[in-house]
Amino acid sequence: MVFKQTITEKWLAAGSSPVDWCEENYTVSSSIAEFTNSLSNVLTVIIPAYCIKNQLWRSYRKHISNGPQVILYLTALIGIASAYFHGTLSLFGQLLDEVWIIWVMCVAYASLTADCYRPVIFRGSRANIVALFLATFLTLMWFVAPYTNAFWMMTMGAPVYYFLYNECFVVKRKYSLSLVRLSLVLNILGITFWVADRAMCNFWLSLGLPGLHNIWHLLCGVGSYLNLTVFAYLKAASDAPYLIPTIRYYPGDTWGLPYVHCKSKLPS
């Protein structure tokens, strides 16, 4: 009974997390701590669910890997976990939110990083082993030193900016350049809003705004999916010369959600 009470008080109780964002708590709803921060996770759930339902990545799964499909499921879990965390500010919600982010980044690096961007020792199946070890290690570290998790997430996210910058200003692949530019802009805007929310909270509240973390969520919902599409295309274009990868859109031919379609150059 004491053990059960400890779990409830330490992990599941509302406000048990040491993290509290700029938005004032329980101002919109008496049952949801940070209303806009919870609601703004909607794109992080809807976009992956829409892609999965319409099987947009089936050709990529057939010719390259299941990486995008796994990432879509994990991303949807991040959105659900983040909504739960911001709705309760519980330590368990924080755990789910941050751990799923770590896992999705590890899966993405292992399955979508083109070989030209990784050392030889991290290619092939070894990348999966390293990703599994790192994700497991950081998950366990969360229980030892949860305050270091933000550092690890920022560190793991940093190479994405280098990859996008390099593709945008150095490599300039014409078939993906516009999408790379948009992805880079959304990533920069996202981190800018995240920092502004943390550093200028009192200013936003004085304007009657609930902070900017909710905008960060919306930008991440779109930006993370664009990152997936960009890196999946780069992986196919760089590492699979036997394929013809193209960026397509759904439901329209030139608008909607982008995805990578793969077709074999070999006669069927």
Instruction: Quote the CA–CA distance of 258 and 188 in Å, as a whole number.
Output: 20
Number of folded domains in the chain?
A: 1
On whether 23 is known to bind a ligand per the annotation, the reply is: yes
Range of the domain at 123: 28-264
Query: Which CATH number characterizes residue 103's domain?
Result: 1.20.1070
On whether 21 is known to bind a ligand per the annotation, the reply is: yes
pLDDT reported for residue 46 = 98
pLDDT reported for residue 2 = 47
pLDDT reported for residue 25 = 95
pLDDT reported for residue 87 = 97
**Residue 19 counted as domain residue:** no
On whether 34 is known to bind a ligand per the annotation, the reply is: yes
On whether 213 is known to bind a ligand per the annotation, the reply is: yes
**Residue 12 counted as domain residue:** no
- Strands (E) located in 96-176: none
On whether 63 is known to bind a ligand per the annotation, the reply is: no
**Residue 180 counted as domain residue:** yes
**Residue 98 counted as domain residue:** yes
Q: How far does Cα 218 stand from its chain's mean position?
A: 11
On whether 253 is known to bind a ligand per the annotation, the reply is: no
pLDDT tens, 138-151? 999 988 888 888 88
Nearest partner of 247 among 185, 173, 184, 190, judged by Cα: 173
Query: Is 4's pLDDT higher than 60?
Result: no
**Residue 69 counted as domain residue:** yes
Q: Which two tokens stand for residue 263?
A: 């077709």
On whether 261 is known to bind a ligand per the annotation, the reply is: no
**Residue 44 counted as domain residue:** yes
Task: Look up the pTM and report it.
Answer: 0.93
**Residue 4 counted as domain residue:** no
Instruction: Quote the CA–CA distance of 200 and 202 in Å, as a whole number.
Output: 6
pLDDT tens, 84-117? 999 999 999 999 999 999 999 999 999 999 998 8
Given pLDDT bands bounded at 50, 70 and 90, which one contains residue 121? confident
Instruction: Quote the CA–CA distance of 115 and 44 in Å, as a whole number.
Output: 28
**Residue 191 counted as domain residue:** yes
With contact defined as beta carbons under 8 Å apart, do 72 and 61 qualify?
A: no
pLDDT tens, 157-185? 999 999 999 999 988 888 889 999 999 99
- What mean pLDDT do residues 122-143 have? 92
Instruction: Quote the CA–CA distance of 2 and 213 in Å, as a whole number.
Output: 37
**Reduced 3-state DSSP string for the chain:** CHHHHHHHHHHHCCCCCCCCCCCCCCCCCCCCCCHHHHHCCHHHHHHHHHHHHCCCCHHHHHHCCCHHHHHHHHHHHHHHHHHHHHHHCCHHHHHHHHHHHHHHHHHHHHHHCCHHHCCHHHCCHHHHHHHHHHHHHHHHHHHHCHHHHHHHHHHHHHHHHHHHHHHHHHHCCCCCHHHHHHHHHHHHHHHHHHHHHHHCHHHHHHCCCCCCHHHHHHHHHHHHHHHHHHHHHHHHHHHCCCEEEEEEEEECCCCEEEEEEEEECCCC
Place of tokens 């739960």: 84
pLDDT tens, 12-71? 899 999 999 999 999 999 999 999 999 999 999 999 999 999 999 999 999 999 999 999
pLDDT reported for residue 8 = 61
